[in-house]
Every structure is written in C-alpha cells, then in structure tokens.
Amino acid sequence: MLASGAPLAAQRSDSVAVIEAAQTALRAISTRDTALARTVFLPGVQLIAVMDPAPPTASPRMQSDTTFYRTLPGGKEKLLERMWSPTVLLFGSVAQVHAPYDFFVDGTFSHCGTDVFMLVRAKGEWRISSITYTAQRSGCAPSPLGPPGR
C-alpha cells in the first residue's frame, strides 16, 4: 500500500527503498551486525518495545542507540527476525513501514508482533529514526514464510 501526493513511479522507488532499509535493520539484528545497522539508522535512533497484551500500568521498554550498539554484538544466541506483507506510507521525506514479524532465538520461537519503522530521507538516503514494535509470546498467526530454516 502506498500513500502520497508524489508521482506513482517515485512512490514505488521510495517504497522499495524504505522496505529495503527496514529489511536491512532486521538483517543487522539477526546477524548482530552493528556496522550494518549504522548504515540504516540515524544517530539517536530509538527502539521501543510494547508487550501485547500489556496490563494498563505497563510501560514500554525503550532502548537508545548507544545501548543497542553495545548489547547486540555481545550475545551468543542465534537471532532471526522476519517481517512480511509490509505497508508503506510516504509523506515527502518522511515514511513509515509497518509489518507483522516473528522472532526466533536459537531456532526456537520467541515472540511475534508488529514492527513500525519511522524513516526520514537524510542526504538522499532513507534512514530509520525509530522502531516501535509490539511483542506477544502467544496467539500469533502462522507466518506465511513458514518455519525458519535451521
């Protein structure tokens, strides 16, 4: 899905670029590659997790780019995050991608939810300014991607 006042060809090009940025972020998480993440993250990027369902008194878990870059490469577990059926909204030099996702640790299902990427065009490139996501441990619809390869 595309939404914008821009010509259709430009929308398609931008749509592909923002999805590629989101996929690159997931690949960086899955491979624990902070150098790759820095290619698509703006300095100061925020990662915000919201448990779903959450009690009314729950607060989101917020992670700064500094914490993300420090903790990601240190883990030993094999991570895999996959998204599918992304929806793109374009507003000039601002874009949003949201998509269902699943997340596996050492090949075992951990959680699923919806990823929401906010992006801005900076110096001609789409960069992620924040990722907000829901996380649910049960009640997840099966992924159309099937089980992950092991």
**Position 1 in a domain:** no
Considering its fold, how many domains does the chain have in total?
A: 1
Given a cut of 70, whether residue 1 has pLDDT beyond it is no
The whole domain housing 74 covers: 8-135
* H/E stretch holding 63: strand 61-64
The pLDDT tens digits for 10-58 are 567 999 999 999 999 999 999 999 999 999 999 999 999 999 888 889 9
Tallying the residues shown for the chain, one arrives at 150
Q: For the whole model, what pTM was predicted?
A: 0.90
Q: Look up the CATH number of the domain holding residue 41.
A: 3.10.450.50
Given a cut of 70, whether residue 2 has pLDDT beyond it is no
The pLDDT tens digits for 69-88 are 999 998 899 999 999 999 99
